Amino acid sequence: MFTGIVEALGEIVALQPSGGDLRVRVKSHGLDLGDVALGDSIATNGVCLTVVELPGDGYWADVSRETLEYTTVGEWKLGSRVNLEKALTPQTRLGGHLVSGHVDGVGEVVSRHADARSERFRLRAPKALAKYIAHKGSICIDGTSLTVNAVDGDEFELNIVPHTLERTVIGGYSTGTRVNLEVDVIARYLERLLLGDKAADSSTGGGIDMAFLAENGFLQR
């Protein structure tokens, strides 16, 4: 688990396709790896990666085909900058929100404009994830815990302060930038709990729709 508070910026310095998936080397500028061991997890642009080698100035990690399909990892190039965060410990300050590092999908920056000293971003999420994004709720963008300022269908807005612009990859976003999205895990569990015993019924598709809400008394017919 992570908090979504980025600790350092890293750089992709090697990409090695291997048997249909990928091995990556990340140079960890400014990230203390003194307490990191093989098998530990590091969130890399919001993707939980397992450390398989520690060459001294960074780490190697393997990326599965599943991860390549659902994240932006397949778009990384040599020199790409990435947000880094080590897994939390019982002593870690929970400055953001609980983040698993399991990316739900890829969003896209729709617009960016100045708002006093901050920057206002509008992003579009995959339609299947829109129901989990709420006004003033939390969302993780490329590993950064952020507050949703406005929601309009499958689009939402973020207000990014100067510190975050400087210390994360968000400062380099422009219209069309694709980003890793992880919705609040509490919303996902709440959906399953509302299904009750029907959660085990494959005919529900694993989700809640308007018909389900009406049938179970959450909506007036």
77-87 b/e (C-beta count within 10 Å ≥ 16 → b): eeebbbbbbbe
pLDDT at 90: 81
SS3 content of the chain, % helix, strand, coil (to 5): 25, 40, 40
Q: Is 13 helix (H, G, I), strand (E, B) or coil?
A: strand
Q: What is the pLDDT of residues 100-142, one digit of tens each?
A: 999 999 999 999 999 999 999 999 999 999 999 999 999 999 9
Cα atoms in the 13 Å half-sphere on the side-chain side of 194:
19
Q: For tokens 């008394």, name the residue.
A: 217
Spatial separation of the C-alpha atoms in residues 102 and 172, rounded to whole Å: 23
- pLDDT at residue 214 greater than cutoff 70: no
Mean pLDDT throughout 21-28?
96
Q: What is the pLDDT of residues 171-188, one digit of tens each?
A: 999 999 999 999 998 888
The model carries a pTM of: 0.87
CATH code of the region 8-86:
2.40.30.20
Residues of the chain with CATH 2.40.30.20: 8-86
pLDDT at 189: 85
Q: What angle do CA 84, 89, 91 make, to 5 degrees?
A: 115
Residue 198 confidence class, pLDDT cut points 50, 70, 90: confident
pLDDT at 206: 55
Q: What is the pLDDT of residues 66-112, one digit of tens each?
A: 999 999 999 999 999 999 999 998 878 778 888 999 999 999 999 99
Computed over every residue of the chain, the mean pLDDT equals 91
Exposed/middle/buried for residue 58 (C-beta within 10 Å: 0-12, 13-18, 19+): buried
